[in-house]
Chains A and B, each alone.
Chain A
Amino acid sequence: MSTTVQPAPTRTIAKRKSALRRRNTLMGWTFILPNFVGFALLTLIPIAALIFISFTKWGALGDPVFVGLKNYRTMFTQGTYWTALWNTVYYTIIHMPLTLVISLALALLLNQKMRGVAFFRTAAFFPYITSIVAIAVVWNLLFSPEYGPIDQMLSWLGVSAENLPRWTTGASPITGAMPAVIIVATWREMGYYMLLFLAGLQTIPPELYEAARMDGANSWQRFWNVTWPGLRPTTFFVTVMLTIGSFKVFDLILVMTEGGPGQATLVLSQLIYRTAIGTSGAGGDFGFSSAVAVSLFLICLTITIIQFLVNRRAEK
């Protein structure tokens, strides 16, 4: 800029600044637009529509009719919703801690310098990238009653035929369907969370372990006083991801049990799907389905907020 010329054109500068700003805004939007159009149409609008639809009566045919809170009232008075909610909670409170502990243990084991560590990491991670369908098909055969490898192993271990858990099919009083789904889900996901923990372990400075060793801390003490606090951000993140992931469990259940036997593994996501388009039962009730979806959304939101607050308090 010319400093010698006196009439400092502040107005021109301001003008130029706003021109630059306009140029940048235009520029920024052109970059973002291609993705944003898709994102707005396919994510933002559906989310907004969801809340509206949940207050209407709307089938596959015809137009939505506003009915106020009717869908929510039906939801809370109907047994199916509570069954689905309970099943989802049941799945979550077992699957979440189990996966957390196993993936952390795996990460600690595989964080050491040794030969073959890459192979073991790959083996642990591999189930996560294979398709749910292939996994479910294989595990369903493994879980087949009596002649399936798992039941055969159990009877070999001395479990009598009538005590064999009825995994994904059985009509026996005790169904092992939910445990079976949880076993498969944990097996599939632990490698993924292990990776997150491994990444978290890399951020803990090795000097801390050195210092702890100098002070005579044994490996257990080193874990509690160095590793665990050092992993806190990772553990927080993993807990949130796992809890939300558990609450929205869907495809695994769909391909393994379809919510059955009976309603033993019916979960919220599936109820949403089933009431709106599913073939079984009364399909085509978009309003009711959306009310369930709103409840799922609110549950996930509440969990995130609670965990966030707990984490903040623990940080202090």
Chain B
Amino acid sequence: MSTSPASPSDAHPTGMVASVTEDVVSTVQAVRVIAKRHTHKSTSWWIGRVALYALLVVASVAMLIPFFWMVISSFKRDNEVFSVPVRWLPLTWHPENYIRIFSNSMAGGYSMTNWLKNTLILAVVVTFLQVLTGSFAAYGFARVKFPGRNALFLGYVATIAVPWQAYMIPQFILLTKVGLSNTLWAIILLQAFGAFGVFLMKQFYETIPEELSESARIDGLSEYGIYWRIMLPLSVPAIASLSLLTFVNTWNDFLGPLLYLRDRNLFTIQLGLNTFAGDPQTASQDALIMTGAVISVLPIAIIFMLGQRYFVEGIATSGMKG
């Protein structure tokens, strides 16, 4: 703000008054000018903001409309899913779809309950193993110096560049030869030892000051003790990121189950849903298929809402997934 120096000598009271009024006038003028400029700026600023919001609202509607349609259709009757013109709200609401889909007789011998159970088992076991072995190995790479360590790590990095699609068949042959095809073990082995976890955890461990483990070492803690008592508790945010990403990845995995699981009772929710939607016996049940889709997405949506921060951090620090 333009503050004209209070000019003034105590010796000239009138002069002082004059200068004060002058001051006030100039201040008022200045304020007016600023205010004017501000309102002017804010008109165009407001136009910009409104346009921006309009754009974003349109964009997010476009992004979310498939989900909206999915949820709405899951409450419709099967033959009401397609209608001309498109009906955005069901005529009658059918929440019983959500019960129907769990009853075996309904779903053509498919068992939603089994699929959810299998998927949950896989996601929990894989996440547990990935976090455990990944963080353990990451400690070795980040904190223990030994010959060959860097070469070994390079091996991990290099394989990330090899697409899984390229070696999925030899992997499949291997697991089939040892008799693990058509078991949940195949999926667990497939997902649990990825290089991704090692990466993410190593990245994080390297931000923890070395002095911390050094002083613990002087206090007589073994390397395992340092890992367990110091590094692990400190890396809770990274573990949260890794757990959430792994859980969601395993929950959503379609290719692994597709390759390995033949028995319908072993299906995961993704493979089950896909089979359900593609089977001529059941494919006409559009509303029920949408119900299944909602059920397959819902747990992930909830987990994502609760742990959004960790997702974003995990992706931003590692820059990759899967």
Report A's interface with B, CB cutoff 8 A. 21, 24-25, 27-39, 41-47, 49-50, 53, 106, 109-110, 112, 114, 116, 119-120, 122-127, 129-142, 144, 147-149, 152-153, 156, 187, 191-192, 195-196, 198-199, 237, 241, 244, 247-248, 250-251, 254-255, 268-269, 272-273, 276-277, 286, 289-290, 293-294, 296-297, 300-301, 304
Contacts and interface: CB of A to CB of B under 8 A. Distances in A.
B49 to A, nearest CB: 7
Interface stretch (B1-9, B18-26, B162-170): B162-170
Interface stretch (B91-99, B105-113, B191-199): B191-199
Given A109-B55, A124-B63, A199-B316, A36 B166 contact: no
B273 A134 contact: yes
Contacts of A300: 161-163, 166
Interface stretch (B27-35, B36-44, B145-153, B206-214): B145-153
A122 B56 CA distance: 12
B125 interface: no
B159 to A, nearest CB: 5
Interface in B281-322: 286, 289-290, 292-294, 296-297, 300-301, 304, 308, 311-312, 315-316, 319-321
A294 B166 contact: yes
A187 B65 CA distance: 11
Nearest to B73: A141
Nearest to B274: A133
Given A32-B141, A122-B308, A293 B169 contact: yes
Contacts of A144: 82
B313 to A, nearest CB: 10
Contacts of A119: 60
B147 A25 contact: yes
Chain A CB within 10 Å, residue with most, of B152, B173, B316: B173
Contact of B168 (A53, A142, A268, A272): A272
B169 A250 contact: no
Contacts of A141: 69, 73, 81-82, 286, 289-290
Interface of B: 49, 52-53, 55-56, 59-60, 63-64, 66-67, 69-70, 73, 81-86, 132-134, 136-137, 139-141, 144-149, 152, 155-156, 159, 161-174, 189-190, 192-195, 197-198, 223, 227, 248, 251-252, 254-255, 258-259, 269-271, 273-274, 277, 286, 289-290, 292-294, 296-297, 300-301, 304, 308, 311-312, 315-316, 319-321
Contact of B315 (A33, A37, A192, A250): A192
Chain B binding surface SS class = helix
A130 B198 contact: no
A43 B189 contact: no
B166 A50 contact: yes
Nearest to B152: A32
A27 B273 CA distance: 46
A31 B137 contact: yes
Contacts of A199: 315-316, 319
